[in-house]
């Protein structure tokens, strides 16, 4: 059997809008860039780090067919700007679907980089509201198969599947998050994320079901995390 | 000294108030987290295409390029895996176009076009359609299927003048006419 290599690439309108919004933020020459202005007070610029892990992915891994382990390192700049790197390992193992008989397996690392902005009026309060964005990327391989798929007309028993099909995806996330100080260095928080794919290669089978770090490729572009955070 | 005590007291009050705010936020966060998890798990939607049949469309044409109507009766059949035949198109009279299934993974489909005239005379032609097959996947919730790319078509010339490939890609888009068929006698 011959396969055709098809690379589906789509440039999201959201990405274009984001670039346009950033361009609009660039001031005319001579003006100050207010977006990145820090509050004037005696608090130093470097306020430390936060490490965190996402509990949602772990719970999903335990109770469902897919999930992820994800940790993050966030730099605190003046309690106002928070550059962040998130590293994770996403995994899906959906075996012998009771309706379609399909099997789907993938597991791969992913990363997200971005920045959060503290939306609170009092930037130095112990609890924070964040708005931010992420750029994310993963390269993953998919095993997809069905044991028997008889041709309904010719009745040949046809094998359906791909093995180690290489795929990749770039995507953007708009983030809204809450972070509350619980005790000492311990914080708890959650985030809601609106995700849009910008470039994706889903191999010869046309589409993928689960993308590590992105989740299920369905109509819903929403995702989220529940974070356990430690101040360093 | 009294100033220092006042400052300390103010600081203590501030930290106490911050602690209270934190204590109020904690149940809010936990409650909203559970609600959030509930929403997250209940928002997954199955999105299978409504049109999920893959078949080929044939259009009949005269050599002048206008649509032809075949007044003979047309049958199309093929051989199954077990060696018996299967009818793919039955008793087509006055047809201008028709649709036929395409095999999932055979590298070349063999079809038999039988054209029966009003006087019971018949003309039998064999059509070989060479193609590439590749699995198509939407989601684990949607049925598996195969898409195809037609690479070549050849045939005998008893009742058929020629068949040409009009659209090579065969997929869920059934609005395309994949073959143009020219029967003999269709001037």
pLDDT tens string A12-69: 444 445 444 444 444 444 444 555 666 677 777 778 899 999 998 999 999 999 999 9
A157-183/A128-150 β-pairing? antiparallel
Do the domain assignments include residue A4? Answer: no
Chain A nearest CA to B78, separation (Å): 8
pLDDT band of residue A169 (cuts 50, 70, 90) is very high
Least Cα separation, residue A99 to chain B (angstroms) = 7
Number of domains in chain A: 1
**Count of all residues that appear for chain B in the document:** 187
CA torsion through residues B23, B25, B27, B33, sign: negative
pLDDT (tens digit per residue) in A86-96: 999 999 999 98
Q: Is B88 on the interface with A (CB under 8 A)?
A: yes
Model confidence band, residue B61 (pLDDT cutoffs 50, 70, 90): very high
Task: Tell me how far apart the alpha carbons of residues A66 and A57 are, in angstroms, rounded to a whole number.
Answer: 8
- Say whether B38 sits in a helix, a strand or coil: helix
Distance CA B62, CA B96 (A): 10
What's residue A90's pLDDT? Answer: 96
Query: Where are the extended beta strands (E) located within chain A?
Result: 46-54, 66-77, 81-94, 103-118, 128-150, 157-183, 186-201, 210-211, 215-216, 222-231
| Residue B81 DSSP SS3 | coil
- The H-or-E segment that residue B51 falls in is none
Q: What is the mean pLDDT of chain B?
A: 84
Domain housing A174? 61-231
What tokens does B23 get?
């204590």
* Best residue of A180, A192, A207, A220 to probe chain B, by most B CBs closer than 10 Å: A180
Residues whose CB falls within 8 Å of the CB of residue A97, separated by 6 or more in sequence, listed in order: A103, B140, B141
B 25-84 residues inside an 8 A Cβ radius of A: 25-26, 28-30, 32-33, 36-37, 40, 43-47, 78, 80-82
CB contacts of B149 in chain A (<8 Å) are 4
The DSSP call for residue A64 is S
Residue A84 lies in a domain: yes
CATH number, domain containing residue A226: 2.40.160
The answer to the question of residue A189 being in a domain is: yes
Element at B12 (helix H, strand E): helix B2-42
pTM: 0.75
Query: How crowded is the C-beta side of A7, counted as CA atoms within 13 Å?
Result: 7
The answer to whether residue A32 is domain-embedded is no
Contact A97 B18 (CB under 8 A): no
ipTM above 0.90, yes or no: no
Per-residue DSSP letter, B105: S
B37 to chain A: which residues are within 8 Å by CB? 56, 59, 226
Please indicate, yes or no, if residue A36 is contained in any of the structural domains.
no
Q: Is A47 within the bounds of a domain? A: no
């Amino acid at each position: 059997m011959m396969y055709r290599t098809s690379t589906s690439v789509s440039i999201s309108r959201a990405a274009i809008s984001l670039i346009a919004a950033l361009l609009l933020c660039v001031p005319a020459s001579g003006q100050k860039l207010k977006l990145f202005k820090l509050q004037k007070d005696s608090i130093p610029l470097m306020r430390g780090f936060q490490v965190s892990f996402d509990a949602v992915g772990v719970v999903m891994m335990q109770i469902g067919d897919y999930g992820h382990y994800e940790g993050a390192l966030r730099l605190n700049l003046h309690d106002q700007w928070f550059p962040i790197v998130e590293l994770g390992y996403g995994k899906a193992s959906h075996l012998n679907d009771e309706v379609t008989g399909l099997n789907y397996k993938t597991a791969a690392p992913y990363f997200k980089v971005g920045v959060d902005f503290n939306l609170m009026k009092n930037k130095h309060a112990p609890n924070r509201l964040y708005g931010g964005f992420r750029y994310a990327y993963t390269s993953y391989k998919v095993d997809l198969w069905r044991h028997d798929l008889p041709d309904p007309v010719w009745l040949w028993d046809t094998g359906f599947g791909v093995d180690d099909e290489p795929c990749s995806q770039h995507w953007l996330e708009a983030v809204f998050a809450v972070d509350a100080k619980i005790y000492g260095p311990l914080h708890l928080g959650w985030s809601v994320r609106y995700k849009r794919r910008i470039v994706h290669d889903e191999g010869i089978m046309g589409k993928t079901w689960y993308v590590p770090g992105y989740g299920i490729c369905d109509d819903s572009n929403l995702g989220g995390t529940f974070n356990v955070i430690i101040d360093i | 000294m009294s100033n220092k005590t006042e400052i300390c007291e103010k600081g203590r009050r501030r930290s106490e108030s911050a602690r209270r705010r934190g204590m109020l936020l904690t149940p809010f966060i936990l409650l909203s987290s559970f609600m959030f998890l509930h929403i997250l798990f209940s928002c997954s939607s199955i999105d299978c295409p409504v049109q999920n049949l893959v078949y080929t469309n044939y259009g009949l044409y005269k050599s002048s390029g206008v649509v032809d109507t075949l007044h003979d009766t047309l049958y199309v059949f093929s051989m199954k895996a077990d060696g018996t035949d299967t009818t793919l198109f039955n008793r087509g009279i006055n047809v201008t176009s028709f649709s036929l299934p395409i095999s999932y993974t055979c590298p070349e489909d063999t079809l038999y076009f039988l054209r029966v005239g009003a006087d019971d005379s018949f003309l039998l032609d064999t059509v070989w359609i060479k193609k590439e097959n590749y699995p198509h996947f939407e989601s684990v919730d949607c049925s598996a299927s195969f898409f195809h790319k037609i690479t070549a078509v050849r045939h005998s010339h008893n009742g058929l003048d020629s068949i040409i490939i009009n659209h090579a890609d065969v997929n869920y888009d059934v609005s395309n006419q994949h073959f143009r068929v020219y029967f003999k006698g269709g001037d």
